[in-house]
A = this chain, B = another copy of it.
Amino acid sequence: MRMAELSRITGVSVPTIKYYLREGLLPAGERTSPNQARYDDTHVHRLKMVRALVEVAGLSIAAVRDVLEAADLDPHDVLGEVQSRLPPTVPEGAEEPADAAYELVTDLIERRGWKAGPDSPPGRALATAIRSLAEMGRDDLVALVEVYAEGVEKMAAVDVRTVIRGRGMEDVIEGVVLGTVIGDTMISSLRRLAHQHVSAELLGEGE
């Protein structure tokens, strides 16, 4: 198909498609003349994925490129590599992980018996979040980490079981990328809806 049809099918405008091509988020089409190229279903699928990552999950163009590069590789640790490139990432210049927040994360992982690294990107992002709440004197919010850990444990078990059912490595990797970041959006939206509900229950209809 031509770019115009690719645009029509996906709902992504032609200028945006050209931008994604320039930025390397979408592989080039097959050249059919100096000014034209042909696209196929793999482009449709990739374009929908890029749009989901940018518009729904709010990733930057650089972050999307980074994740897709990891997904296009096929090393044995591709899942870990993809995960390490997805947000939340650790702010640049973040303190070294050797303080109370880091201890708390290490202790939490140990107590739950998780095979997971406190030094990995999500471990460090968690320590950074805890550190910032503690600095503001919000130990009440820090304490919620226990409730969240309990909740995500069940979610993650179903997540991984769902994703590894994919047909072939490509399908599995796509599932990891989408399940992780679009999953975040689903979870945070649902949590806000549940906040509305609990507030209404506890505080009356005034929300």
Contact = CB atoms under 8 A, between A and B. Distances in A.
In the assembly, how many copies of this chain are there? Answer: 2
A86 to B, nearest CB: 8
Chain A: interface secondary structure? helix
A56 to B, nearest CB: 5
Interface stretch (A29-37, A64-72, A126-134): A126-134
A152 B194 CA distance: 7
Q: Which among A114, A135, A158, A191 has the highest number of chain B CB atoms within 10 Å? A: A191
B144 A197 contact: no
Contacts of A79: 199, 207
A156 interface: yes
A122 to B, nearest CB: 4
A186 B145 contact: yes
B162 A141 contact: yes
Interface string A124-150: 011011101101101011011101111
A114 to B, nearest CB: 4
